[in-house]
Copies of this chain bind each other. A is one copy, B any other.
Amino acid sequence: MNITPLLNSISKYVSLTDKEIEYLESKVFIRKYLKGQYVVQQGDVCKYECYVLSGCTKTFYVDQEGQEHIIMFSIEDWWTSDMGSFISQTPADFNVQCLENSELIMISHDVVDDLYREIPKLERFFRKIVERAFVASQKRIVRNFSLTAKEQYLYFREQYPLIEQRIPQYMIASYLGITKEFLSKIKSQLILEQ
């Protein structure tokens, strides 16, 4: 089992001993998903926090009218799950679905407490990861407030050029909170402008 990318990611925040690494390896596992498969389904309890080794997922929400709203994409070296469901073990609000064949490192809710007890440094690691996620989420709220759809699209394109290339445009529209038709209009406007 090769969890090296996760270990590298952890080592940016805390340094684990060989023994701790061994313990961590013994408690997590890798799971392969095919394109289209669900990691989490709305309504189920989310049992895992997942680190993306390869591939790509979308986290989305289906509203009462049946409309799909994409909350985030996760690619290599990102985390994915429904944290609300995971931390309180209640039914998930979100779906997580693979957009490509993907390999995820799965941390089960059954073992997180063991992990935190045996490797207190992981508590620090995850605190910092979540702090960053929270800050990013707040910044997104600010963007929703103060940018036009065009500005938000330009921001997305600049920040996540790698993601834009891997994902169909109608999903980017959903992520930006606009219709695919309007994103198409924005893109043709941008072409005329330059």
Binding site for B on A (CB under 8 A): 61, 63-64, 67, 69, 71, 83-84, 87, 93, 116, 120, 123-124, 126-128, 130-135, 137-142, 144-146, 177
Contact = CB atoms under 8 A, between A and B. Distances in A.
A142 B87 contact: no
A84 B132 CA distance: 7
- Nearest 5 CB-CB pairs, A to B? A137-B137, A84-B135, A127-B127, A134-B134, A63-B146
Copies in the complex: 2
Nearest to A177: B145
Q: Which DSSP category, helix, strand, loop or mixed, fits chain A's interface?
A: helix
A87 B71 CA distance: 24
A145 B69 contact: yes
Contact of A142 (B61, B126, B139, B142): B61
A147 to B, nearest CB: 9
A138 B135 contact: no
A70 B135 CA distance: 15
Given A120-B123, A137-B137, A141-B137, A131 B69 contact: no
Contacts of A93: 139, 142
